[in-house]
Amino acid sequence: MYRIGIDLGGTNIVAGVVDDSYRIIATAKCKTATPRPAEEIIADMARVSREAVQAAGLTMDDIDGVGVGSPGVCNADTGVIERAANLDFIQVPLRDALSALLNKPVTIENDANAAAYGELLAGAAKGKSSCVCITLGTGVGGGVIIDGKIIAGSNFAGTELGHTVIVVDGVPCSCGRKGCWETYASATGLIRQTRDAMQANPNSVMWKLAGNLDRVSGRTAFDAMRAGDAIGKQVVDTYIKYVAAGITNMINIFQPEVLCVGGGICKEGETLMAPLRAHIEKERFSQYSEKQTEICAAKLGNDAGIIGAAYLGL
């Protein structure tokens, strides 16, 4: 059995052919090139799907179904993307339109949920029935799987974990609230915190590493800390506290078997994960329970969304 998983992003459209062992055997991609009409984007999704099938040495007759992970509110019942801001999609009937082009059944889901499902099937939570997956990227994405099922809420707008508030009246968020976890724990938040610390501390090693404020990245503070810079360490320590605060909330709410953390910042490995676990172990409500949530790095990277999307609804 082969299925197609499509990761529809604001920058790229990536389609992968996935076998029944959850291995991606071929991919194809193109630029999303937003903003443009939804019909054009859907046509490109169909095209890269066929290109991936051809690259796998298969034909569309070998494909049993197609799944799409998309940003925004994705109504899995109707197949409509109700709103995806970075795609400029409002009430787009993606499932039926793509199904008509490929002549295959199509299932849609939020991209963070699809990635969480991929980690459950083949990644950090393989063999488990429940997991929460957090992605620390431009924002903070999250997906929740309980008893093998994606939790999306009654209106498919649930588990927007990055938009839970951890600092009342804190930093304004793009969603309209203030103090969202995303504004503090994302790579964007870390970069802002790094720049603020640099401006307040002109002698910090971070100036030498970055050169100027425009070149600050998520690695700047970590690299400064490794170079012995006290200000860099202060930024990292504070950032990890913010990440830990939100993760502890998620563990207290869901108590999953596994909570995995993905995104570019996870390339820091145990420099990030070890202190993160230490904070969570001291603060989680279940600290005296015999069974504890395993906290680990995600394993599949960008493949998670493709694998999870491919097997949606099965």
Residue ranges of the domains in the chain? 2-121+303-310, 127-297
Average confidence (pLDDT) over 242-252 = 97
Average confidence (pLDDT) over 24-29 = 98
Look at residue 158 in the predicted model and tell me its pLDDT.
87
Rounded to 5, what percent of the chain is helix, strand, coil? 45, 25, 35
Residue 275 backbone phi and psi in degrees, to 5: -65, -30
Look at residue 257 in the predicted model and tell me its pLDDT.
97
For the stretch 163-197, pLDDT in tens is: 999 999 999 998 899 999 999 999 999 999 999 99
The CA distance from 65 to 44, in Å, is 17
Under 8 Å between Cβ of 105 and 111 = no
Average confidence (pLDDT) over 63-83 = 95
The CA distance from 282 to 188, in Å, is 27
pLDDT at 121 over 90: yes
The CATH class, in words, for 2-121+303-310 is alpha beta
Do the domains spanning 2-121+303-310 and 127-297 agree at the CATH topology level? Answer: yes
pLDDT at 277 over 90: yes
Max mean pLDDT range (14-28, 81-95, 134-148): 14-28
Under 8 Å between Cβ of 110 and 69 = yes
Domain 127-297 architecture: 2-Layer Sandwich (3.30)
Three-state SS at 253: helix
